[in-house]
Each structure stands twice: as structure tokens, then as C-alpha cells.
């Protein structure tokens, strides 16, 4: 009986939402093809869940579109002289969304003890949050009073505030988490509040009229609602976007890539009157990695591979010029520590041939390159180029889950990898090569170990001045290139397609969907 009632109510609310679409409400509509399995921010691991959590929840701090840390529920903070103690002063006008479990059904004020509860929950092994690692360097945290919250860390870490901006660290109300159906009926403090979720079909968020932030003297958010569908087939979602039934489309799928953009990465002219394209650097570096053990491929061969194919041509023809050829290090453009003057690898057949000639490596020996089907075209392009040099490259294609597991356990000698920034600091990329981060306990998939590199890494962690720390990062990036630990392929790019009646939308290098400042001009059909 209850199950039937839920189905009835779901259909009813969906019908209501369709009715709203025809009225004078500003509803932002988009699709998440990958779907979501929870709305709990403690489990906001994938991009789809993070994007939704960003609408519903807030933390102590947040990142602006330039990835600078700015206030959120914390209006200001102080860092001790030893860079170990962070003291946050909270706003007094932040309230949780209304819920029946609150007195009189009205959301109560957020206090410091709510953060104490939320962070304790994050590291509770019984919860098993994938975001517990964010607090791995934290010694203790506690509420001093209702408006002061303190965090003490074990050792200085320049990117700590950026870590706190992750949705894992969102504030949640204890009484709702422990007594309500929180994972699919969440209560936060964000610009939008939960209304309806029919798993695999639709999610509806409504405007939070009690939201605490303003912009240019106007209360946020500007939209009345957000409507999210979960169409798995990307071609079908694309057709809905072209029909005007969706307001936003992120990224490019091979099924519609050539239809929507030119081979130079521009919007196809036939859609220019209907939609607009916005792009920005994406904090994602695509690369090939080598396992650095006693059986690793010789350095001359690793360097020859780096020189032996044309990245610019590869990006132009296989990715419609989306992204930047990675002729520098692991740190991508979009971070202030990216350095154009680093000595990387351009396409140079003469250098590649000379390296091969001076190597004792037997060309007929098979070099196995492991990848997934999504990147097979890139790997085949590289394979063809290197085979022409005389190297015997064989491609091994595995399912994504299998590939990820084999990379994570360092069971592949030569593999395709990518690193999307967890937080906007070059250290996040350089941690991949720190010897104490060997897999499976850390992200050092290559098992690279270098004393000079490790010393520089530790030095950077204790350096307060950004400009000096970035210089250290550049030295570390250069060491990685000198040892040819990886083959950088390209630095990715965020592509967002919007209907022309959407205003105020900004892209950012984390590809985080930010909708509180977005407006939609309703155009009568």
C-alpha cells in the first residue's frame, strides 16, 4: 500500500513540475547520464553527486570561479603562526532547510557543534565515507561556542582550506541524519532545497527562500527550481537539449561531437542562434604512466615514446581540438603553479630515433599499453606513430573497473591514466610521485621514488609563500619529466553548452556546477 502511494505521489509531483514548466517559473533543466545513488554529501565522490550536493549544501568555505578560497558559513578565519590551528568565525544567519523533524517544521540556525558532528560523521569508520581522507592530516576539531569552530592539523598543509571546500565537508543536521531518510531526502543550508527524487527518473530542487548569500544586493538564488533528468543514453540527452527541453549540456560525447562542434573546437554554425558555448581550462591531466620498478621500460625508450607522436595532431583530429597538447608537466594550465617554461616533450622524430639507436632495448620486444575503450582511439594513434619508429606497441583493452583496479594496485607496466584535481593546488598532482604515497595506500601508481623529489615535496608543504612554493613545484615537475615517469597527453578543457536564454552562468576549472547566480529568461513559445 505504501509503495503504491509513493509511486502515485511521484507521478503527481512530476506532473506538477511539468505544469510549472508552462507557468512563469524559472526552472533550470539538465541531465545527469551517469545517475546518482545518494544525495548524502559524505558520499559525493563522483561529478554528478558533487554537482547536486553543491546546490543543497554549504561548508565552512567555498571556492570562487578562479579557485580562490572564499567565505561561506564561516565569515572569516584565522590561521596560527605555526600554520597548525585554524579558527573559524561562523555567520549567525544560516539556517537548515525546513523539515518536519525540526520544531514547528522550521529549519533551525546552524551552530559550530553542527560542524563538529558533520566532520566526526565524515571520519566515522561505520559510515565508511570515501571522503574521510580529507581529514587525514587533522589532529582534532571542536566547537568553542556556537559561533567559533577550531581545527588543528598535524603538520602544515597549504591546501587545507581548499580541502574544506569539498562537498564532503558540508554541514548536516544531526536530528535529520539520524532520524530521517537522509541519503534520499537530504536537508542542508544551500541555495536550493530538496523536493522530489524518483531514482533513475527525475530529481527536483526548489529555491531556498531563506538562503543567506546575496549578489549585487539581491538575495540568491535567482532560479525558482532545478529539474534534473537521468537519461542514460547521451545521444538521447543531446536531442532533448537541441529541442530546448534541457538548458545545459556538459562535455562532448562521440555520438554527437561532430554534429555540435567543428574540428577546431568551435560551435557548429547551424546552432549559433539557439545555443552558446562556454569553455575554460579543466584541472584534468591525461597521461600514460610507466611502472618504475626493476623491470621498467628503459629511460631512453620512455623518452623516445614522449618524443615519438604528434600531440597537436592527435588532439585536433581525435578530440576536435578540445584540450591543450601536454608538452609540459603533470600540473595543468588553470593552476597558478603551471609553468610554460618547463622543459617538456614536443614532437621530435629525430630525437626519438636517436634515443632508440643509443638504447640496448630490443625493438621486437612487446610493450603492452593498457587502456579502456573510451581512450582506445588515442592509444591507437600513439601505437601507430610508435610502431612506425620500430617499437612493438600492443594495446590491451579492459573494462573501466578492471583498469582502475589494476592501476590502483600498480599491476600495469604501461597504462593510460588521468588525474582530476581533488582540490586546486599543484601539490595534488605532485603527490602522485611522492615515495610515501605508494599504492595501495596512496596515489603513487608508478612507484616512482627519488630522494631529491621527496625532499622538495616536504619543503613545499611547509612553505608559506605561494610564489616560492610554486617554484618548488616547478622543480618537482621537471624531475618527473627528466625521468620520463609519464607521457603527458593533453590538458583537458571544460565545454558547456547553454540555451541562449540562460544568463549568469560561469564555468570553472573544477567543472563544478554553480547555479545560485544563474538566471533564466522565460521565452514564450
Q: What does the block give as the cell for 194?
A: 530538496
Contact 307, 345 (CB under 8 A): yes
2-232+501-520 and 281-492 in the same fold: no
pLDDT string in tens for the chain (525-residue length): 444 444 444 444 444 444 444 457 899 999 999 889 999 999 998 899 999 999 999 999 999 988 899 999 999 999 999 999 999 999 999 999 999 999 999 999 999 999 999 999 999 999 999 999 999 999 999 999 999 999 999 999 988 999 999 999 999 999 999 987 898 899 999 999 999 999 999 999 999 999 999 999 999 999 999 999 999 999 999 999 999 999 999 988 888 888 999 988 899 999 999 999 999 889 999 999 999 998 899 999 999 999 999 999 999 999 999 999 999 999 999 899 999 999 999 999 999 999 999 998 887 799 999 999 989 999 999 999 999 999 999 999 999 889 989 998 889 999 999 999 988 999 999 999 999 999 888 899 999 999 999 999 999 998 888 999 999 999 999 999 999 999 999 999 999 999 999 999 999 989 999 999 999 997 654
Q: How many CB atoms are located within 10 Å of the residue 130 CB?
A: 12
pLDDT value, residue 14: 45
How far is CA 139 from each of CA 149, 155, 156, 162, rounded to the nearest angstrom?
14, 9, 11, 17
Is 298 in a helix, a strand, or coil? coil
Q: What does the block give as the cell for 460?
A: 613545499
pLDDT value, residue 9: 44
pLDDT value, residue 1: 42
Q: Give domain 281-492's CATH number out of 3.40.50.1820, 3.50.50.60, 3.90.550.10, 3.10.105.10.
A: 3.10.105.10
Instruction: Quote the mean pLDDT of the chain.
Output: 92
Q: Which helix (H) or strand (E) holds 417?
A: strand 414-420
Closest by CA position to 48, among listed 37, 57, 56, 59: 37
Query: DSSP of 34-55, one letter per residue?
Result: T--S---GGG--SHHHHHHHHH
Beta-strand ranges (E) seen in 112-208 are 138-143, 148-153, 192-198, 202-207
Which CATH superfamily does the domain covering 2-232+501-520 fall into? Answer: Periplasmic binding protein-like II (3.40.190.10)
Query: DSSP of 81-122, one letter per residue?
Result: TTS-EEEEEEPS--BPPP-TTSGGGPPPBP-HHHHHHHHHHH
Return the domain boundaries, the chain.
Answer: 2-232+501-520, 281-492
Residues 58-107 pLDDT 10s: 999 999 988 899 999 999 999 999 999 999 999 999 999 999 999 999 99
pLDDT value, residue 34: 85
Give the angle 402-405-411 at the CA atoms, nearest 5°: 100
Phi and psi torsions of 384, nearest 5°: -60, -45
Phi and psi torsions of 336, nearest 5°: -65, -20
Contact 463, 158 (CB under 8 A): yes
pLDDT value, residue 23: 59
Q: Which letter, b or e, does each residue of 252-262 get, where b requires 16 or more Cβ atoms within 10 Å of its Cβ?
A: beeebbeebbe
Amino acid at each position: 500500500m505504501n509503495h503504491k502511494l509513493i509511486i502515485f505521489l511521484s507521478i503527481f509531483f512530476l506532473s506538477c513540475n511539468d505544469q510549472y514548466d508552462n507557468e512563469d517559473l524559472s526552472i533550470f533543466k539538465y541531465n545527469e547520464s551517469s545517475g546518482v545513488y545518494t544525495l548524502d554529501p559524505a558520499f559525493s565522490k563522483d561529478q554528478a553527486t558533487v554537482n547536486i550536493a553543491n546546490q543543497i549544501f554549504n561548508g565552512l568555505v567555498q571556492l570562487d570561479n578562479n579557485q580562490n578560497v572564499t567565505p561561506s558559513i564561516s565569515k572569516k578565519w584565522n590561521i596560527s603562526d605555526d600554520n597548525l590551528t585554524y579558527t573559524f568565525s561562523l555567520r549567525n544567519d544560516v539556517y537548515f532547510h525546513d523539515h518536519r523533524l525540526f520544531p514547528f517544521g522550521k529549519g533551525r540556525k546552524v551552530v559550530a557543534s553542527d560542524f563538529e558532528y558533520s566532520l566526526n560523521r565524515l571520519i566515522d569508520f561505520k559510515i565508511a565515507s570515501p571522503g574521510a581522507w580529507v581529514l587525514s592530516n587533522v589532529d582534532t576539531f571542536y566547537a568553542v561556542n556556537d559561533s567559533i569552530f577550531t581545527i588543528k592539523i598535524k603538520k602544515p598543509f597549504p591546501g587545507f582550506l581548499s580541502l574544506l571546500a569539498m562537498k564532503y565537508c558540508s554541514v548536516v543536521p544531526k536530528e535529520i541524519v539520524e532520524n530521517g531518510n537522509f541519503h534520499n531526502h537530504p536537508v542542508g543550508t544551500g541555495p536550493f532545497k530538496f523536493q522530489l527524487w524518483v531514482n533513475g527518473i527525475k530529481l527536483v530542487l526548489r529555491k531556498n527562500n531563506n538562503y543567506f548569500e546575496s549578489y549585487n544586493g539581491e538575495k540568491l538564488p535567482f532560479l525558482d527550481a532545478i529539474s534534473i533528468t537521468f537519461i542514460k543514453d547521451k545521444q538521447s540527452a543531446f536531442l532533448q537539449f537541441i529541442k530546448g527541453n534541457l538548458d545545459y549540456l556538459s562535455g562532448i560525447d562521440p555520438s554527437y561531437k561532430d554534429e555540435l562542434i567543428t574540428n577546431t573546437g568551435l560551435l557548429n554554425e547551424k546552432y549559433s542562434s539557439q545555443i552558446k558555448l562556454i569553455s575554460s581550462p579543466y584541472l584534468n591531466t591525461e597521461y600514460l604512466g610507466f611502472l618504475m620498478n626493476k623491470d621498467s621500460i628503459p629511460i631512453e625508450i620512455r623518452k623516445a615514446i614522449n618524443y615519438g607522436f604528434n600531440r597537436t595532431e592527435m588532439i585536433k583530429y581525435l578530440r576536435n581540438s578540445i584540450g591543450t597538447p601536454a608538452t609540459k608537466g603533470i600540473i595543468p594550465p588553470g593552476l597558478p603553479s603551471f609553468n610554460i617554461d618547463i622543459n617538456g616533450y614536443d614532437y621530435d622524430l629525430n630525437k626519438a630515433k636517436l634515443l632508440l639507436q643509443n638504447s640496448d632495448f630490443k625493438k621486437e620486444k612487446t610493450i603492452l599499453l593498457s587502456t579502456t575503450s573510451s581512450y582506445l582511439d588515442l592509444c591507437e594513434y600513439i601505437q601507430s606513430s610508435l610502431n612506425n619508429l620500430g617499437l612493438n606497441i600492443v594495446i590491451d583493452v579492459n573494462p573501466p573497473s578492471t583498469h582502475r583496479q589494476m592501476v590502483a594496485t600498480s599491476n600495469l607496466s604501461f597504462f593510460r591514466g588521468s588525474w582530476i584535481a581533488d582540490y586546486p593546488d599543484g601539490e595534488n598532482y605532485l603527490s602522485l610521485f611522492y615515495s610515501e604515497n605508494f599504492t595501495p595506500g596512496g596515489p603513487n601508481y608508478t612507484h616512482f621514488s627519488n630522494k631529491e623529489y621527496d625532499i622538495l615535496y616536504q619543503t613545499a608543504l611547509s612553505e608559506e609563500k605561494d610564489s616560492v612554493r610554486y617554484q618548488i613545484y616547478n622543480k618537482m615537475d621537471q624531475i618527473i619529466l627528466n625521468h620520463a615517469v609519464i607521457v603527458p597527453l593533453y590538458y583537458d578543457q571544460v565545454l558547456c553548452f547553454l540555451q541562449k536564454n540562460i544568463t549568469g552562468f560561469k564555468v570553472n576549472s573544477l567543472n563544478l556546477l554553480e547555479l545560485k547566480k544563474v538566471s533564466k529568461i522565460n521565452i514564450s513559445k
